[in-house]
Structure 1
Amino acid sequence: MLTPDAPANIANWMSHGRNWGEDRFSPLAQINDGNVGQLGLAWFDDLATMRGVQATPLVVDGVLYNESIYNIVTAYNAATGERLWTYDPQVGAEWARLACCGPSSRGIAAWEGKIYIAALDGRLIAVDAATGQEVWTVQTFDRAEAYSITGAPRVYDGKVVIGNGGADYGVRGFVAAYDAATGERLWKFYTVPGNPANGPDGEASDSAMQIALPTWHGEWWRYGGGGTAWDAFAYDPQLNLVYIGTGNGTPHMWHFRSDGQGDNLFLCSIVAVNATSGEYVWHYQMVPEEDWDYTCTQPMITADLEIGGRTRQVIMQAPKNGFFYVIDRATGELLSAQNYVSVNTWASHIDRATGRPVLMPGAHNTTTPHLMSPSWLAAHTWHPMAYSPLTGLVYFSAQEQGDVYARAEDGEFTYVHHRSNSGQQRRNQPELRARLMEQARAEEKGYLLAWNPVTQSEAWRVPYRVPGSGGVLATAGNLVVQGTIDKTLAIYAADTGRKLWEMDIDQAPVAGAITYLVDGVQYIAINAGWGGSPVYNLGPFQTSTAKLLVFRLGASGVTLPPPPPPSSVPRPPFLTATEDMVARGRELYGENCARCHGPNAVGGMKDLRWMTAETRAAFADIVLRGTLADRGMIGFAGQLSEADANAIHAFLIARANEDYADASAHP
């Protein structure tokens, strides 16, 4: 099979980032800055879910393959939208709760007549691309552990590479490669060390663990350590290197995880391994002493750039911590790093001599609440970014969202399997917390950023009312395509940022768009289903069901169904619970609910401040017994008690009363 970006494959989109370097740049230019105003909706498919749909579709020889929630994959005629087959791996609904961030997936892979699905429950599945019939399946992790998979698998020269998530819940991260033809495991690379008393693992990562082990302290292995590689990969076939972006630590608080000592390799790093053997080649750690739920699992792009009068083979990343990194992809040498958002609560700069961030005073977490920006909400999250070799610019969604951090007192942290294990204290000094959260909300920003990686400077930006806009696509037609938090699909000029076209689609896509050619006609396709990071100032946010949307020049006659009628903000009940009960509910909400429903109960996929009276009456049944399981809200009876559910409900009533006056003025 030819490489995904070979000239013979110009009409296709055969890999997650189009090519193995993940630049998400298409050489197609039939749709361009001169005619994009003629773009219209060619066809769509209603995915019949209100959950976020995050996948990048693939197109191979006129067939579009798409993945919805719970890893359901459908093949379509890419020109007409006719469904050809659907494969449902029957992922259990309980995985919506057992995975940190819901049952979405970021995509699938294709290779030599097969489509590869990395299921939420850990199965790696190969299906026949022509029929959707299962060819082979392997289980990639022990289901008794708190792993899950939401990232897209990649196929590099016949090897399927996949990581996993679960660091928040307490696992030891690893990446594995499988034979694309048979499913045989080829190698396994752990990203953090295990219990040193157990000796070497007998895996490809053994030499790397000798480097990592001295940077850990205490009994981190009791909590897994984290470092899961849940999304970002790239590959250089000439160097025969696979690049792995790793995640945050478990627990989040460095004090509990590693006795507040050591860099904790390879948390929040790029690790390069030999594609054939999986053995360690080099690493670069962006966030030593990881203490803030920062991850370096954001997209990575390889490119050849003219820097300092010579061509450098680089890999680029804009991770959560707010710095844009340009690294030599052959050696791991840091070439440059510059902040692309305000980072003045974390680090002043990156020391070029050591490659380490120079932390601001007070950056590490103590028992006193403080505001961190960037926060776990990310300066740039998983949303795909793109690089255009024509403009020399990298395009991505950037955001400024702080959050309040404080670690628990010694003796207060208790590890709970299959539950977020942050080690944070979420209820002390409420007056200070309220002031800090007010500041965070006032400073919240979101924008599309065009960044020059050679000069490490901003070229242009498109500001949005709030964060939450999605991934991007760049094309040779001088276009940048992005779904926006304003519930539109927008297209900008890649060189200047001038808006060229926009359509109201009643959804805020977070996935990245693709483009492809069928019978000489260029199309643009995107999954539109909002489920990104919470947004403080979004307010009540109602959308239509998620849809796969496909556009072409001159298309007409296809219209989206009307949006549902707007709903008003219901008046919350009076608060009767004690302050202690509300405080307990705040803590339980932060550990169990905030990932989907937003920090401090603001934003998220369902804003729980504004529940109806009927929902409030059924709150315990919903939370504990899963009466809304068909909508993805699985019961938490195994983790929460009736008293816990009541405390969470009390906290939500308190939050609703605090915000009702302002919210009701803006239905």
Structure 2
Amino acid sequence: MNNIGLPPLRWVSLVCAPLFLLACSKAPIPADMASAAEPVIVQEWSKHGGSDAEQRFSPLEQITPANVEQLGLAWAFDLGVSRGIEATPLVVDGVIYVTATWNKVSALDARTGELRWQFDPQVDRSKAADLCCDAVNRGVAYSDGKIITGTIDGRLIALDAKTGKKLWDVVTVDQSQPYTITGAPRIVNGKAIIGNGGAEYGVRGYVSAYDVNNGDMVWRFYTVPGNPADGFESPAMAKAAETWKGEWWKYGGGGTVWDSMAYDPELDLLYVGVGNGSPWNQNIRSPGGGDNLYLSSIVALRPETGEYVWHYQTTPGETWDYTATQHMILAELDIDGKPRKVIMQAPKNGFFYVIDRATGELLSAENYVPVNWATHIDTKTGRPAEVPEARWGGRAPHLQLPGPFGGHNWHPMSFSPDTGLVYIPAIEAPYIYSDDKNFSFKEGHWNTGADSAMGSLPTDMAQFKAIKAALKGRLLAWDPVKQRPAWQVEHGSPWNGGVLSTAGGLVFQGNADAKLVAYRADTGERLWDFFAQTGIVAPPISYELDGEQYLAVASGWGGTFTLVYGGLFPAGSDAGVGRLMVFKLGATAKLPVLAESTMAKPTPPASTANAATIAKGKQLYDNNCVVCHGDHVISSGLIPDLRWSPLLNSDEAFKAVVIDGGLTSRGMPAFRGIISESELKILRAYIISAANEGLEEKLGIGK
């Protein structure tokens, strides 16, 4: 157990059994792709995590520590967008499928990168206002000649895999509410399983199954109870309601299933990871406490009916944005001399869990990053031994590790049956949790019940350097049996890519410094890297065609950390490039040289506001704008920098966008009823002040 003690700085990071090897098939590709006389054998990546078990392990072994230096770029495809590319590509029948910002799907020849087709679902971009964590999505699913994709505005769409023609299109959410979809669907027995996001905005979470042939909904499982007066959808909801207090349903409750799932065909169990409460602050959501099931839980369901089987709650009474939506992996481990079928997770709360996947019994749990909200997990009860000060609602502010970014976020980890290690994109990013004294629930807007101003970094140079040193990211090789690190590699930023391990003895990960890197799986020795021109947050995959092993990864800097702090921590990444890159041994292709920006910054209006007005304006900004436009109004480059906006020259023009919604079609929400016209003038005065401050130069972070 590693406890920490940090100075009270007001800052934050907000916001193997063969059954489970890579889902590979060996089959001739269609006649229109190769001569019938010369069938080409492929080894595919046809499921999101490589297999139903989500191990993200490739059995391919052509690329090894001995020859990885010969790995080169075979081809690259410009996705046309660059904002937060998080997708896992799929490879089926020699075609690679990848998604980009705004849910655009591209189908490419997996050998050459030649475009086969593209599909644009024409999403309602105003729904970007309901996204906590950038306009992202994590990929598509494949089933029986169909590509299934979710959209930010809550639809599930089936496309013909050969042509891209739309086969069906269904709405999975109440589009009048702030639901979104960012996760990749999963396919189980002819059903497309999909969840949704929106907990910070006041929704009730659920996961649904749809018939892949026609889009008909087969079942729906709610993860938190609704208003008891309306009755409960299932016995599981009735039981969950016993663990809630007050009138939680008025706040939505949260518990969205926005990412991780896994499936065990032998046990016929679907595992879903459940998210945080709405609002975060349990004192508001469920006054009087309670476990608040099934927040922050792994829930096992019957995939045919959605029937509840068991659950394990990683964080009872969740109040820290400690989601359990992080990547889950199924494996067989030798524990106490006996083989156990387990499910493993490193959720946000900082503890690594090994759980019996048949029963939900906790087998072991230890912290994989420094933790100070709990001293340990009681293996008899399965519950954390909390530090009383961590229950911040109604108490003094608490500087805590992990913060809302978690010890591990959405970026997928990987398990190698060869080494027995789990490779985790780990994070250290503390946060000061404190009550929002002026909280009032506003449906469709940011509702955490936490004081967002605590997330603002100090502008004192010494304090800023101390914070930068405290923000850490690493690739952590974790032994799940011994529950301890095997090795680790430190990164320059906490926000780095998902992970792939291979039978060739390698681990691949992209990072914030725009590098795709290969490490030895047993020691962590760095063996090879490639400069991608932009940060990589997406996970790599590997596939084989014509006897050659390929490596593929989507690049494109973004995500919630980047939006809030990307301007203050640029980490060597250009925000303007998004690509799918494919590598193989001996390839020598080059990325095009980036043109340098010559755009001059306009001169902002003079700042005439007094210190009190600027302070009030900053509070308005931190509570309403920071999650997209960046701390201290320093943009990540993914969206326009407000300091140089021509709207600052006019109260009327500023009002037309911020209050009247003049740019909702581009994802800028309207704040009518949230910000008054008098407050708007104060907000504008603060942004003008920030534009004149020259903070980047003062802190030595200007590009």
Partner residue, 1:30? 62
Partner residue, 2:668? 634
Partner residue, 1:416? 442
CA 1:496–1:234 in 2, change beyond 3 Å: closer, same or farther? same
- Indicate if the aligned counterparts of 1:505 and 1:560 stay in contact, CA closer than 8 A: no
CA 1:570–1:253 in 2, change beyond 3 Å: closer, same or farther? farther
Partner residue, 1:589? 621
CA 1:431–1:36 in 2, change beyond 3 Å: closer, same or farther? closer
Residues 352-390 of structure 1: CA distance to partner in whole angstroms, max 9, x if unpaired? 111111111310113533322211122111011111000
2:663 maps to 1:663: no
Q: Report the Cα offset of residue 85 of structure 1.
A: 0.8
2: distance between equivalents of 1:93 and 1:602? 23
Q: Report the Cα offset of residue 351 of structure 1.
A: 1.1
Partner residue, 1:517? 544
- Indicate if the aligned counterparts of 1:50 and 1:546 stay in contact, CA closer than 8 A: yes
Q: Report the Cα offset of residue 616 of structure 1.
A: 4.8
Partner residue, 1:8? 26
CA 1:432–1:77 in 2, change beyond 3 Å: closer, same or farther? closer
CA 1:7–1:426 in 2, change beyond 3 Å: closer, same or farther? closer
Answer with 589-598 or 25-34: which moved more: 589-598
- Indicate if the aligned counterparts of 1:544 and 1:563 stay in contact, CA closer than 8 A: no
Matched position secondary structure for 2:240: helix
CA 1:570–1:351 in 2, change beyond 3 Å: closer, same or farther? farther
2:207 maps to 1:171: no
Partner residue of 1:495 out of 522, 530, 552: 522
Partner residue of 2:99 out of 45, 67, 84: 67
Identical pairs, percent: 47
Partner residue, 1:88? 120
2: distance between equivalents of 1:260 and 1:431? 33
Report how many residues are paired.
658
TM-score (normalised: structure 2): 0.87
Q: Report the Cα offset of residue 426 of structure 1.
A: 4.2
1: distance between equivalents of 2:476 and 2:596? 32
Q: Report the Cα offset of residue 170 of structure 1.
A: 0.4
Partner residue of 2:311 out of 265, 283, 292: 283
2:128 maps to 1:110: no
Residues 604-635 of structure 1: CA distance to partner in whole angstroms, max 9, x if unpaired? 555988833757548836655777778x5535
CA 1:507–1:279 in 2, change beyond 3 Å: closer, same or farther? same
- Indicate if the aligned counterparts of 1:625 and 1:634 stay in contact, CA closer than 8 A: no
Partner residue, 2:477? 450
Residues 541-577 of structure 1: CA distance to partner in whole angstroms, max 9, x if unpaired? 5333211111111112433332534989999877543
- Indicate if the aligned counterparts of 1:534 and 1:604 stay in contact, CA closer than 8 A: no
1: distance between equivalents of 2:260 and 2:457? 39
Partner residue, 2:371? 343
Answer with 638-647 or 320-329: which moved more: 638-647
Structure 2 counterpart of 1:663, one-letter code? L
Structure 1 counterpart of 2:82, one-letter code? M
Answer with 600-609 or 427-436: which moved more: 427-436
Residues 237-277 of structure 1: CA distance to partner in whole angstroms, max 9, x if unpaired? 11111101001111110000001411111111101111111
- Indicate if the aligned counterparts of 2:629 and 2:642 stay in contact, CA closer than 8 A: no
Structure 2 counterpart of 1:322, one-letter code? G
Partner residue of 2:406 out of 371, 378, 385: 378
Partner residue of 2:451 out of 425, 431, 445: 425
CA 1:584–1:476 in 2, change beyond 3 Å: closer, same or farther? same
Residues 307-363 of structure 1: CA distance to partner in whole angstroms, max 9, x if unpaired? 11001111111111111111111100111111111112x111111111111111310
Matches within 5 A, 1:299-378: 299-344=327-372, 346-365=373-392, 366=394, 368-378=396-406
Partner residue of 2:169 out of 137, 141, 163: 137
Matched position secondary structure for 1:362: helix
2:558 maps to 1:527: no
Matches within 5 A, 1:188-199: 188-199=220-231
Matches within 5 A, 1:557-576: 557-562=589-594, 564-565=596-597, 575-576=607-608
Answer with 38-47 or 186-195: which moved more: 38-47
Partner residue of 2:569 out of 527, 533, 538: 538
CA 1:654–1:398 in 2, change beyond 3 Å: closer, same or farther? farther
Answer with 8-17 or 49-58: which moved more: 8-17
Partner residue, 1:259? 287
Structure 1 counterpart of 2:384, one-letter code? P
Q: Report the Cα offset of residue 455 of structure 1.
A: 0.6
Structure 2 counterpart of 1:77, one-letter code? D
Q: Report the Cα offset of residue 449 of structure 1.
A: 0.9
Structure 2 counterpart of 1:413, one-letter code? F
Higher relative contact order (CA 8 A, sep 6+): 2
2: distance between equivalents of 1:122 and 1:610? 29
Matched position secondary structure for 1:235: strand
CA 1:477–1:596 in 2, change beyond 3 Å: closer, same or farther? farther
Q: Report the Cα offset of residue 299 of structure 1.
A: 0.6
Partner residue, 1:97? 129
2: distance between equivalents of 1:227 and 1:581? 38
Partner residue, 2:300? 272
2:182 maps to 1:156: no
Structure 2 counterpart of 1:424, one-letter code? A
2: distance between equivalents of 1:288 and 1:605? 38
Answer with 157-166 or 615-624: which moved more: 615-624
CA 1:659–1:559 in 2, change beyond 3 Å: closer, same or farther? closer
2: distance between equivalents of 1:626 and 1:303? 49
Structure 1 counterpart of 2:58, one-letter code? S
1: distance between equivalents of 2:48 and 2:597? 36
- Indicate if the aligned counterparts of 1:402 and 1:440 stay in contact, CA closer than 8 A: no
CA 1:567–1:356 in 2, change beyond 3 Å: closer, same or farther? farther
- Indicate if the aligned counterparts of 1:609 and 1:655 stay in contact, CA closer than 8 A: no
1: distance between equivalents of 2:209 and 2:701? 54
1: distance between equivalents of 2:210 and 2:456? 50
- Indicate if the aligned counterparts of 2:133 and 2:559 stay in contact, CA closer than 8 A: no
Partner residue, 2:159? 127
1: distance between equivalents of 2:187 and 2:454? 48
Structure 1 counterpart of 2:185, one-letter code? P
Structure 2 counterpart of 1:198, one-letter code? D
Structure 1 counterpart of 2:352, one-letter code? F
2: distance between equivalents of 1:115 and 1:623? 38
Answer with 92-101 or 594-603: which moved more: 594-603
Answer with 28-37 or 601-610: which moved more: 601-610
2: distance between equivalents of 1:431 and 1:52? 23
Partner residue, 1:230? 258
Q: Report the Cα offset of residue 402 of structure 1.
A: 1.3
- Which sections of structure 2, spanning at least 5 residues, go unmatched? 1-18, 28-41
- Indicate if the aligned counterparts of 1:542 and 1:566 stay in contact, CA closer than 8 A: no
CA 1:144–1:643 in 2, change beyond 3 Å: closer, same or farther? same
1: distance between equivalents of 2:576 and 2:240? 47
2: distance between equivalents of 1:430 and 1:130? 49
Structure 1 counterpart of 2:447, one-letter code? N
Q: Report the Cα offset of residue 50 of structure 1.
A: 3.3
TM-score (normalised: structure 1): 0.92
